[in-house]
A and B are shown apart, each in its own frame.
Chain A
Amino acid sequence: MPTAYFGRRYMLSASHRLHADSLSEEQNRVAYGKCNNPHGHGHNYVVEVMVGGEVDADTGMVLNMATLDEAVQTAVVQRFDHANLNFDPLFVNHVPTTENLTKAVFDVLKDALPAGRLECVRIEETENNFFEFRG
């Protein structure tokens, strides 16, 4: 059967502050600008998840959307939606840039989905910037 890809977009709203403990206050301000604001700020993130694999002969699907929804809701949305990313254990030692968030989402989803199916995670932080991770 042919290999195809299936993608779906999800939304999550979260806050974060970009601040690296290894940098001085001044260095943080220079590196992160207004994203270093001590009280943090938030975004409506769009998380685009793409899975790939053989199209199942019985269902015509790469992966049932209900299975994908369940995995994304449980592993990603419930964890990060309406949360402060800096307080998530994943970001205790990592700055919650959207690069790092994209990789973190890829890693937790990879474990939540059937083996070998996750192809790409793309996160849009705003309408004008986005990040992709393909493992």
Chain B
Amino acid sequence: MIELTRRATFSASHYYWNEAWSQHKNEEVFGRCARRNGHGHNYTLEVTVAGNADPVTGFVVDLKWLKEVIEHEVLADFDHRHLNLEVAEFAEQKLIPTTENIAIAAWKRLAPAVSKAGGARLSRVRVYETPEIFAEYRGEN
């Protein structure tokens, strides 16, 4: 089995806020990330798929196809957006757009499309918020 990783970048704004908590508790737990006007990052998304190389093409998946899937499923909604206000997982489900939750949301968007291609499965999603900070999700199994 081979793992293949493609990187993509998107820029977005967010803030951390738990509606069930007081302002004081939000500021205590989340620090500067709780400022309600938000702040932004250049995120790097790493998408890893696993499978066997096709005997004819030598590909696990076509990287051009994977690029389009990432753009369609994730970047189209996340890039140059305010995650708390404009992206369904966070705006409607009131999920806090931490790096962990962004990785999980990206996984849930990508996994069905990758499975549909046949032959490969989504193995790992890693989201860098800065070059020094990242979160990773490998699915439930």
Measured CB to CB, the residues of B under 8 A from A are 16, 18, 20-21, 29-31, 95-101, 103-104, 131-138, 140
Closest to A46 in B: B132
- Interface contact B136-A50, CB-CB below 8 Å: yes
Annotate A49-79 by CB proximity to B: 1 below 8 A, 0 otherwise. 0100001001111101110000000000000
12 contacts between A and B (CB under 8 A): A3-B140, A4-B100, A4-B135, A4-B136, A8-B132, A8-B134, A9-B131, A55-B101, A59-B18, A60-B96, A60-B98, A60-B100
- Interface contact A65-B100, CB-CB below 8 Å: no
Tell me the complex Cα distance, A5–B133, Å.
11
- Interface contact B29-A4, CB-CB below 8 Å: no
Which residues of A in the span 22-72 have a Cβ within 8 Å of any Cβ on B? 50, 55, 58-62, 64-66
- Interface contact B132-A9, CB-CB below 8 Å: yes
Known: A58-B18, A59-B18. A5 touches B137 (CB 8 A): yes
Cβ-based interface call for A135 (8 A)? no
A residues in contact with B29, CB < 8 Å: 59, 64
A residues in contact with B100, CB < 8 Å: 4, 6, 55, 60-62
Closest to A55 in B: B100
On chain A, the number of residues with a Cβ less than 8 Å from chain B's Cβ atoms is 19
- Interface contact B104-A59, CB-CB below 8 Å: no
Closest to A61 in B: B98
- A72 CB → nearest B CB, Å: 12
Closest to B132 in A: A9
- Select which of B31, B95, B136, B140 is within 8 A of A5 by beta carbon: B136
Closest to B101 in A: A60
- A22 CB → nearest B CB, Å: 38
The 10 closest A-B CB pairs, nearest first, are: A60-B96, A60-B98, A5-B136, A9-B132, A4-B100, A60-B101, A4-B137, A7-B134, A6-B135, A55-B100
- A11 CB → nearest B CB, Å: 9
- Select which of B96, B132, B138 is within 8 A of A59 by beta carbon: B96
A residues in contact with B16, CB < 8 Å: 59-60
Known: A6-B99, A60-B95. A55 touches B104 (CB 8 A): yes
Closest to A11 in B: B132
Cβ-based interface call for A2 (8 A)? yes
Tell me the complex Cα distance, A60–B105, Å.
12
A residues in contact with B20, CB < 8 Å: 58
Instruction: Knowing that A2-B140, A7-B136 touch, tell me 4 more A-B residue pairs with CB under 8 angstroms.
Output: A4-B103, A4-B137, A55-B104, A58-B20
- Interface contact A4-B31, CB-CB below 8 Å: no
- Interface contact A7-B133, CB-CB below 8 Å: yes
